[in-house]
Structure formats: structure tokens, C-alpha cells
Amino acid sequence: MSPSLMLPMAAHVAWAASLYALLTVARAPAVWRIGLRADGSNPWAAVEPRISANLSNQFEWPLFFHVACLLLMQVHTSSVAAIALAWVFVAGRIVHSAVQIATRNVRLRGIVFTINFMAVLGLWALLVADSLV
């Protein structure tokens, strides 16, 4: 197995864990009454649903990323291209989260998602190409 593909996979897991932590903070005022504003409102109320939605997104298309990486490691195909695509995917997921959570710019979010999408398709293309050889 190649540790090189394991690192971007671990980075994505760490990113998802960070989003869980952020969601916990965002829900703290409603759940534990910690961090409420003076008027009793939750300062995170507007952004909490976007954090939650983004966290859910981490278990949709990224599934294909993790499967591709595991299969590539199994067949010992950790080329520079595969590693680069994996890191593009992880960086793209972080940017996608920032756009989805901090803005309402659906067009930009779509562009960033497309980059993630293409990176994973690239990983799968490498995997399929390797299986044909």
C-alpha cells in the first residue's frame, strides 16, 4: 500500500471531523444554551443549516474518492497524477465547504464542485486504465 494516497484520504477525514466540531459549536446555543445572545437567540442560527448540509455532502461524492484511492493503493498505482488528483480533491472539498458555509454563491459552489468531480473521475480513469494494461 502506498502512504501517499493515504495522506489525502486522512486529510479529508480530518476535514469532516473539523466540520463535525464546527457543527457542534453552531448547535451549542440551541442544545446546551451555551453562547446565546443577550436576547436569547442563537448567533449561529443562519449558518448552522449550511454547515449541516455541507457535512452531509462529505459522505456523498467523496465516497467515490475514497473507494478509488483504496483500489489504487490495492493495485499499487500511486502515480504522481493520482496523488495530485487526490490533493486537488481534498483542497477542493475545503474550498467547497468555505463557499457553501460562508456564502450563498451557488454558481461558485458549482464550479468548485465540478473541480472535485473531475478530480475523482480522473482517479477512476487512472484505475480503469491500469486495469486495462
Alpha-carbon distance of 48 to 42, in angstroms, equals 10
Mean pLDDT of 86-111: 97
Of 32-36, 48-52, 93-97, which gets the smallest average pLDDT? 32-36
Q: Residue 119 contacts by C-beta under 8 Å, 6 or more apart in sequence?
A: 65, 85, 86, 88, 89, 92
Confidence at residue 2, expressed as pLDDT on a 0 to 100 scale: 47
Residue 73 vs residue 78, higher pLDDT: 73
Indicate the SS3 state at residue 88.
Answer: helix
Q: Are 85 and 129 in contact (CB under 8 A)?
A: no
Mean pLDDT of 86-95: 98
Confidence at residue 76, expressed as pLDDT on a 0 to 100 scale: 76
Alpha-carbon distance of 52 to 58, in angstroms, equals 10
At the top level of CATH, which class does the domain 3-132 belong to? mainly alpha
- One-letter amino acid of 48: E
Question: How does the average pLDDT of the chain come out, rounded?
Answer: 93
